[in-house]
């Protein structure tokens, strides 16, 4: 088996063969899978060779179109990739500097921590709902309440053998004091007395599988400690991402978009890379798979759906960012209301939110590439944007 870092002699041999046949150089082509194409790109750049990538979807379809089967082998795939390259059905891979590359890696780390954090929260809810459902009724949205999380942490640490009555013997005052000491670990300092009182009152509740409380609450204690650790790691990663935005001198620019947090913008930019590599905002939206896919033939007009192609992680980051921006940004709020209330081609809530996510990506592209603060009138389409050269450009809405 040949490793990616061992392909250097093969490139040298291929170049010698091409020059012996009268060619001046060669073009290296590969299917962009995993990280290996980056290694190959470095080896090609060291030898002054051009490298292009072919999308895996095109290779898969070409494999099927070859003989109507899905037969796969390295020699056959190499021939298919070479054929697609000669047809110019390829692209130049993204080349990013150290700063943008670091932002990409931090964004991937944050995405994983978000997944782990959500899993811990859901697991904690399931365990408490089974053996101690009264605890979940102490707050309207318990998993989003720092006071509730701090109170539950105190209970789980002190409830040995699953006996929550032992915590009740502390008394309400001592229990509240312990919760206040725990609060900073959850990112706040002000306690909600109503929630702490409700959790303390639930200590005497016997509804649920009381016989299973020992094991379930012990496991819940492990889960909530994992949750705290993941939250601390995520805060550290987000701080590092903000430092990278400062190095790129983008913090002040992305902060001009109402409703979009700087962390949310950093998460999106971590998936896009440098937006200037996209020729237009529409190209960025296509890269995220948020562009509509037409379905028409003759007189038939089907329902348009999102293409769903492109970078799935970018689509997720834009979707998360638009939830907060949609309510706090007046232009996005007006656009969402228009899309969901218009008479012709009215969109459902999720469809309109996806359209708003695409709008948010277009705004980010315009703000970052043009180095121009967000403008409400331009975003709403009331007047065209002005480019750096003084000419007029397309409105970013």
Q: What is the 3-state secondary structure (H, E, C) of the chain?
A: CCCHHHCHHHHHHHHHHHHHCCCCCCEEEEECCCCHHHHHHHHHHHCCCEEEEECHHHHHHHHHHHHCCCCCCHHHHHHHHHHHHHCCCCECCCCCCHHHHHHHHHHHHHHHHHHHHHHHHHHHHHHHHHHCHHHHHHCCCHHHCHHHHHHHHHHHHHCHHHCCHHHHCCCHHHHHHHHHHHHHHHCCCCCCHHHHHHHHHHHHCCCCCHHHHHHHHHHHHHHHHHHHHHHHHHHHHHHHHHHHHHHHCCHHHHCCCCCCCHHHHHHHHHHHCCHHHCCCHHHHHHHHCCCEECCEECCEECCCEECCCCCHHHHHHHHHHHHHHHHHCHHHHHHHHHHHHCCCCCCCHHHHHHHHHHHHHHHHHHHHHHCCCCCHHHHCCCCCEECCCCCEECCCC
Identify the pLDDT of residue 165.
79
Tokens of 153: 């942490």
Identify the pLDDT of residue 391.
46
b/e for 154-187, b at 16 or more Cβ within 10 A? bbbebbeebbbeebbebeeeebbebbbebbeebe
How far apart are the C-alpha atoms of 384 and 366, rounded to whole Å?
Answer: 12
Give the torsion through C-alpha atoms of 171, 175, 176, 178, to 10 deg.
150
Contact 322, 352 (CB under 8 A): no
Q: In which residue ranges of the chain is pLDDT below 50? A: 388-397
Nearest to 28 by CA among 50, 59, 3: 50
Nearest to 248 by CA among 265, 234, 261: 265
**Which residue has 């703000």 as its token pair?**
367
Contact 124, 143 (CB under 8 A): yes
Residues 326-375: pLDDT tens digits? Answer: 889 999 999 999 999 998 888 888 999 999 999 999 999 999 999 999 99
How are beta strands 50-54 and 27-31 bridged, if at all? parallel
Tokens of 192: 């909600």
Identify the pLDDT of residue 396.
47
């Amino acid at each position: 088996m040949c490793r990616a870092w061992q392909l250097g002699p093969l490139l040298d041999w291929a170049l010698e063969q091409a020059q012996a046949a009268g060619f001046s150089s060669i073009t290296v082509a590969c299917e962009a899978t995993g990280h290996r194409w980056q290694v190959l790109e470095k080896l090609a750049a060291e030898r002054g060779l051009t490298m292009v990538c072919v999308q895996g979807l095109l290779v898969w379809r070409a494999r099927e179109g070859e003989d109507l089967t899905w037969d796969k082998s390295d020699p056959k795939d190499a021939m298919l990739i070479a054929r697609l390259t000669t047809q110019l059905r390829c692209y130049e891979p993204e080349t990013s500097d150290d700063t943008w590359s670091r932002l990409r890696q931090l964004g991937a780390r944050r995405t994983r921590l978000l997944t782990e954090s959500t899993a811990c929260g859901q697991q904690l809810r399931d365990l408490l709902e089974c053996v101690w459902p009264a605890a979940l009724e102490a707050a309207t949205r318990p998993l989003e309440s720092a006071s509730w999380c701090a109170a539950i942490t105190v209970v789980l640490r002190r409830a040995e053998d699953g006996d929550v009555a032992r915590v009740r013997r502390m008394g309400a005052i001592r229990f509240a004091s312990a919760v206040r000491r725990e609060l900073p670990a959850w990112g706040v300092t002000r306690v909600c007395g109503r929630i702490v009182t409700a959790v303390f009152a639930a200590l005497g509740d016997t509804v649920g599988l009381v016989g299973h409380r020992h094991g379930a609450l012990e496991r819940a204690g492990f889960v909530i400690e994992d949750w705290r650790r993941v939250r601390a790691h995520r805060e550290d990663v987000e701080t590092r991402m903000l430092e990278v935005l400062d190095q790129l001198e983008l913090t002040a620019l992305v902060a001009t978009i109402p409703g979009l947090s700087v962390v949310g913008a950093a998460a999106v930019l971590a998936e896009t890379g440098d937006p200037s590599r996209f020729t237009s905002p529409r190209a960025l939206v296509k890269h995220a798979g948020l562009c509509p896919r037409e379905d028409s033939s003759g007189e038939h007009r089907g329902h348009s759906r999102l293409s769903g192609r492109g970078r799935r992680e970018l689509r997720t980051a834009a979707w998360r960012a638009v939830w907060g921006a949609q309510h706090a940004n007046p232009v996005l709020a007006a656009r969402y209301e228009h899309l969901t209330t218009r008479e012709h081609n009215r969109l459902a809530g999720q469809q309109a939110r996806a359209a708003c996510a695409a709008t948010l990506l277009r705004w980010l592209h315009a703000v970052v590439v043009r180095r121009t603060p967000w403008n409400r009138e331009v975003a709403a389409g009331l007047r065209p944007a002005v480019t750096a050269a003084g000419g007029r450009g397309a409105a970013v809405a």
